[in-house]
Structure 1
Amino acid sequence: MAHKDEDLIIESPSALAYQSDAYLRSVLATVLTCEPCLKQSSSKKSKQKDECESSWHVTLSDTVLYPEGGGQPSDYGTVNGVRVIRVETIKGACVHVCAEPLPVGSQVEVVVDWDRRFDHMQQHTGQHVLSAVADIVCCAPTISWELSAGYVNVDLAPEGEISAENVSAIEARANVEIRTARQVKSLELDGTVQNENPAHLRGKLPPVGTHKVVRLVEIEGLDVNACGGTHVRSTAELQLLKVIRVEKVKGSTRLIFAVGGRVLDMLQGCLVRQTKITSLLSSGPEGHVERIETLLRDKRSAGKRIDTLLGQVAELRGKELASELERSGSSVAVSHYEDEDLPFLQLVVDAAQKLKPDAVYFLSGGSSSNGGVFLLQGPPKVVEQVGKQSAEVIGGRGGGRNGKMQGKATKLDCISSVAPILEEAMQNLSI
């Protein structure tokens, strides 16, 4: 779910360890409360109820774990080795949803999953950089954002259209700001008094009295924004930023992007796939597109030829059925075609009916051992009277109308038992 900037303001920025030092990986704390989670959490992204019933709500005197909020997901970690499933803010308290109970009053060590934390720090600070740059380059303020497992989304409200050239300019400027190694730091304002707007403020300060303390994150010389999330100390730690794609969403423009480690992971994945494709195509990367276009063109051409040949084969099979009916004097044709599908069966029946239009045809296709499909076509009265019975013989289920029934079947090796049912129905029809 996307969030607005003002969702990130928090009451007491320095009350907990993660808020004063995002780089702190562990802290000692006291367990204040520990209660079983008997009902589903209030979090919109909470797990299922059965998980809640096997977990515990733990509050601590201090923590290095960031609770989900304002677009940034919860940290993961451990409390004395006990897994923390997620962290939430419930009624103003930082609640650790733990997999096991912890004794109230005990001293514990809280450890953050650092890889996840640093990834969130990179993506979140990168969002601040991108939002500031988009506002500067295109007069496109950020209206919401979301940090997900794969990418980061920023929804912009530009004054006009954001062109491909605009997006390239935003990305280029963002990477300039990253290389500039601007300092990133937190500022605290007294929320109970009127404050002057800091330079480079993006958005507005909350009304006086809304919050006791307002936390701002400043990217020196570029941006100041109300925020309670975790951030790196310098834009240099972001490494690089890459816009993945652009989407139109409800009157806004959404930029999907990645920062730092995520970009490097994406690049590594691309290089691995490139190596495999090079081997498969026996062509260097510069020739991949042309080679694939040739293969797809050849595939389409081959597909057309195959369809033509299958049509010719089906017509021959249909003529064979009609000839056999003519020789035998029968009006019932029952036949199985290994590995064939419904379109093929339909072509066979169409060809046969041109020569023997009054006969009834029951054909199956697929694997005799693994099942497949069936097609029953003939006089409407016969199909209506014994269609369901005939299909049940081969474990078939389906439907149809106007003298036609088709569906799937599981016992295709029993198809010969269908013939007597259809022969009797055809005899009754002629009486």
Structure 2
Amino acid sequence: MVFKCQEDSFLTEFDTKVKACFPSIHETVENGKKKKCKGFKVILEDTILFPEGGGQPSDTGKIDDIVVQHITREGLEALHFVDRELDIGKKVHVKLDWNHRFDNMQQHSGQHLITAMADNMFGFKTTSWWLGCKVSHIELDTLEISKDQMKSLEVAVNQKIREARSVTVKVYNSSTDPELSKMVKLLKAEKGKKDKINLFFIVGERVLNYLDHYYEAEKALTSVLNGPLEKHAQLAEKSVSSLKLSQKIITTLLRDIAALEVKHFKSQDPENLLFILHRKEGDIDFMNSIIREMENENVTIFITCGDETGTGSFLLYGKEDVISQLGHGVANILDGKGGGKKGRFQGKANKISNRMQAAEFLQENILK
């Protein structure tokens, strides 16, 4: 069956009738997780909503006021997935999401042009392609494509567009002339399946959106790095080097502080077997430094790090039997979670502000 959308790619509204409607389940992916949605598949006498296939996602639109979530093709029919049942024989008004359709048209037309030029210029055959929501890619039957080849291909493709050659879409005996993309940008090439290269590209309005996005990013970085675009890489590298040096200095200072804190503890009451310390800017290396400096297995160590008004981390260290008995109690007081073994219990705390309560809990159970 030739659908109305194949006869006229620019038709955005259409009246038809419901031919069939039956319960179904559509599987989607939300935040990387699969989700099954219950609904109905509707078959219309004809449709302007194109089903997915051949690497291209389906159109989007509405049947009356009902959102069409997905469209597939089974045999000669297009199946429209919706969330409610429609009566068979009912007259309905179908409306196309034109922005989504036109984007698909641009990417697909661009893919055909890139495919043809890659074959003509270098003999690279297209074995498959994928139309992504932001960036698309073509799988080329070649082991590699050089930067010079990519640049030559991009120039040649855009030259064909400037020549304003018409695109003819032939479906059996019908044809139409959809508008070709205004520009093609080849982004990068990556190794794909065995002996294949994936060539990533954007076409038409996506080029402008891409340019807008990166122009805003350029402005932000120019402000942060205090320098023009051509110096961003140099300035960023300098900033990263300075950050690494600062982190190294801070780590050294924290180790020195750890040594001083333990030295001070040892100079106090020798009968005190509970070491308690909070250090806002401390980290796991600081905690381990305290343990190394203590050198007394009879001392129970309780350290918290982080902002007192927020979250942080904690460490409990000492005799294995003591830590195994008190570890989860401390975690509960700090509204946190943790675990460990061999006299070590550590974790994340949601309420560092409760550290004094945790300290009192340890004093009651260790110094009794």
2:296 paired with 1:296: no
Equivalents in 2 of 1:300, 1:97: separation in Å? 53
Instruction: Give the direction of change, closer, same or farther, for the CA distance of 1:290–1:43 in structure 2 (3 Å limit).
Output: closer
Equivalents in 2 of 1:248, 1:185: separation in Å? 33
SS in 1 for 2:87: coil
Instruction: Give the direction of change, closer, same or farther, for the CA distance of 1:288–1:56 in structure 2 (3 Å limit).
Output: same
1:359 corresponds, among 298, 308, 327, to: 298
Query: Residue 386 of structure 1: CA displacement?
Result: 1.6
The residue number in structure 1 matching 2:339 is: 398
The residue number in structure 2 matching 1:117 is: 101
Instruction: Give the direction of change, closer, same or farther, for the CA distance of 1:263–1:342 in structure 2 (3 Å limit).
Output: same
The residue number in structure 2 matching 1:126 is: 110
2:140 paired with 1:156: yes
1:315 corresponds, among 259, 275, 298, to: 259
Equivalents in 2 of 1:270, 1:110: separation in Å? 37
1:419 corresponds, among 344, 358, 363, to: 363
The residue number in structure 2 matching 1:347 is: 289
The residue number in structure 2 matching 1:186 is: 169
Matches within 5 A, 1:11-410: 12=1, 15-35=2-22, 37=23, 39-41=24-26, 48-49=35-36, 51=37, 53=38, 55-158=39-142, 160-188=143-171, 233-234=178-179, 237-251=180-194, 252-324=196-268, 328-330=269-271, 332-339=273-280, 340-353=282-295, 357-366=296-305, 367-368=307-308, 370=310, 372-378=312-318, 383-395=319-331, 397-401=338-342, 403-409=343-349
Equivalents in 2 of 1:254, 1:241: separation in Å? 16
Equivalents in 2 of 1:150, 1:296: separation in Å? 30
Query: Residue 416 of structure 1: CA displacement?
Result: 3.1
Q: Is the 8 A contact 1:338 1:368 kept in 2?
A: no
Letter in 1 for 2:182: Q
Instruction: Give the direction of change, closer, same or farther, for the CA distance of 1:310–1:329 in structure 2 (3 Å limit).
Output: closer
Letter in 2 for 1:26: E
Tell me the alpha carbon deviations over residues 150-192 of structure 1, each in whole angstroms, 9 at most, x when there is no partner.
111110112x532221222221211112112222112355xxx
Instruction: Give the direction of change, closer, same or farther, for the CA distance of 1:139–1:394 in structure 2 (3 Å limit).
Output: same
Instruction: Give the direction of change, closer, same or farther, for the CA distance of 1:371–1:28 in structure 2 (3 Å limit).
Output: closer
Rg (Cα) greater in structure: 1
Query: Residue 58 of structure 1: CA displacement?
Result: 1.5
The residue number in structure 1 matching 2:335 is: none
Q: Please provide the CA RMSD for this pair.
A: 2.7
Equivalents in 2 of 1:376, 1:86: separation in Å? 54
Instruction: Give the direction of change, closer, same or farther, for the CA distance of 1:81–1:341 in structure 2 (3 Å limit).
Output: same
Letter in 2 for 1:71: G
Equivalents in 1 of 2:344, 2:62: separation in Å? 64
The residue number in structure 2 matching 1:202 is: none
Instruction: Give the direction of change, closer, same or farther, for the CA distance of 1:176–1:371 in structure 2 (3 Å limit).
Output: closer
Q: Is the 8 A contact 1:372 1:412 kept in 2?
A: no
The residue number in structure 2 matching 1:227 is: none
Tell me the alpha carbon deviations over residues 408-428 of structure 1, each in whole angstroms, 9 at most, x when there is no partner.
45552221331353456xxxx
Letter in 2 for 1:395: A
Q: Is the 8 A contact 2:25 2:40 kept in 1?
A: no
Equivalents in 1 of 2:28, 2:233: separation in Å? 46
Q: Is the 8 A contact 1:140 1:157 kept in 2?
A: yes
Query: Residue 114 of structure 1: CA displacement?
Result: 0.2
Instruction: Give the direction of change, closer, same or farther, for the CA distance of 1:296–1:44 in structure 2 (3 Å limit).
Output: closer
Query: Residue 370 of structure 1: CA displacement?
Result: 4.5
Equivalents in 2 of 1:358, 1:29: separation in Å? 82
The residue number in structure 2 matching 1:429 is: none
Letter in 1 for 2:294: A
Equivalents in 1 of 2:309, 2:150: separation in Å? 56
Equivalents in 1 of 2:251, 2:34: separation in Å? 49
Equivalents in 2 of 1:42, 1:345: separation in Å? 48
Query: Residue 300 of structure 1: CA displacement?
Result: 1.6
Equivalents in 1 of 2:328, 2:42: separation in Å? 59
Query: Residue 302 of structure 1: CA displacement?
Result: 1.5
Tell me the alpha carbon deviations over residues 55-96 of structure 1, each in whole angstroms, 9 at most, x when there is no partner.
222111121100111111110111122211111113431111
Q: TM-score, normalization: structure 2?
A: 0.87
Structure 1 unaligned residues grouped into runs of 5+: 1-11, 190-212, 218-230, 425-431
Query: Residue 348 of structure 1: CA displacement?
Result: 1.7
SS in 1 for 2:208: helix
Structure 2 unaligned residues grouped into runs of 5+: 333-337
Query: Residue 347 of structure 1: CA displacement?
Result: 0.7
Percent of aligned pairs sharing the same letter: 29
Tell me the alpha carbon deviations over residues 189-234 of structure 1, each in whole angstroms, 9 at most, x when there is no partner.
5xxxxxxxxxxxxxxxxxxxxxxx9x9x9xxxxxxxxxxxxx9635
Q: Is the 8 A contact 2:327 2:345 kept in 1?
A: no
Query: Residue 277 of structure 1: CA displacement?
Result: 2.1
Q: Is the 8 A contact 2:274 2:366 kept in 1?
A: no
Tell me the alpha carbon deviations over residues 234-292 of structure 1, each in whole angstroms, 9 at most, x when there is no partner.
5xx31111112211012210011100101110001111122222223332323322222
Query: Residue 393 of structure 1: CA displacement?
Result: 3.3
